């Protein structure tokens, strides 16, 4: 396995039009996480429980579930307050939003097949995008 040099650019994430048939449930990846966890330990404990519950659903069920439940919604990248990281390819037009806890604070990212790459976790409501 080759060693990655520090000066190499990370691989860009792209949206794939074809969903992987390998897994019908989400696999959450934190490799590209931009948010820095703060001190709201109860929020993160609730977040882990939420991930476990979502992980037991199929993508089909997630896609048909209400967005403030265990479903998702799309947020245009223009509405994202922090700058998108350089590894997000220019063809990405939106991020997918899940609710991280029962109080509707979200986590955002990109789906690539069955893998959902978490990019932002909104610990403080409104830090990542303006809510209606």
pLDDT at 132 over 60: yes
pLDDT recorded at residue 43: 87
pLDDT recorded at residue 20: 45
pLDDT at 3 over 50: no
pLDDT at 1 over 50: no
- Cross-strand pairs, 121: 107
> What would the 3-class secondary structure string for the chain be?
CCCCCCCCCCCCECCCCCCCCCCCCCEEECCCCCCCCCCCHHHHHHHHHHHHHHHCCCHHHHHCCCCCCCCCEEEEHHHECCCCCCCECCCCCEEEEEECCCCCCEEEEEEECCEEEEEEECCCCCCCECCC
The whole-model pTM stands at 0.79
Instruction: Say if CB 72 and CB 66 are below 8 A apart.
Output: no
pLDDT recorded at residue 100: 84
């Amino acid at each position: 396995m080759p060693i990655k040099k520090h000066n190499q650019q990370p691989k860009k994430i792209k949206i794939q039009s074809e969903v992987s048939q390998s897994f019908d449930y989400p696999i959450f990846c934190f490799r590209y996480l931009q948010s820095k966890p703060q001190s709201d330990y109860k929020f993160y404990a609730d977040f882990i429980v939420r991930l476990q519950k979502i992980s037991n659903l199929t993508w089909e069920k997630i896609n048909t579930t209400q967005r403030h439940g265990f479903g998702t919604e799309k947020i245009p990248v223009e509405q994202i307050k922090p700058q998108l990281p350089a590894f997000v390819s220019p063809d990405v037009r939106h991020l997918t939003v899940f609710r991280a806890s029962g109080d509707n604070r979200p986590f955002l990212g990109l789906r690539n097949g069955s893998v959902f790459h978490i990019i932002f976790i909104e610990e403080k409501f409104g830090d990542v995008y303006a809510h209606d």
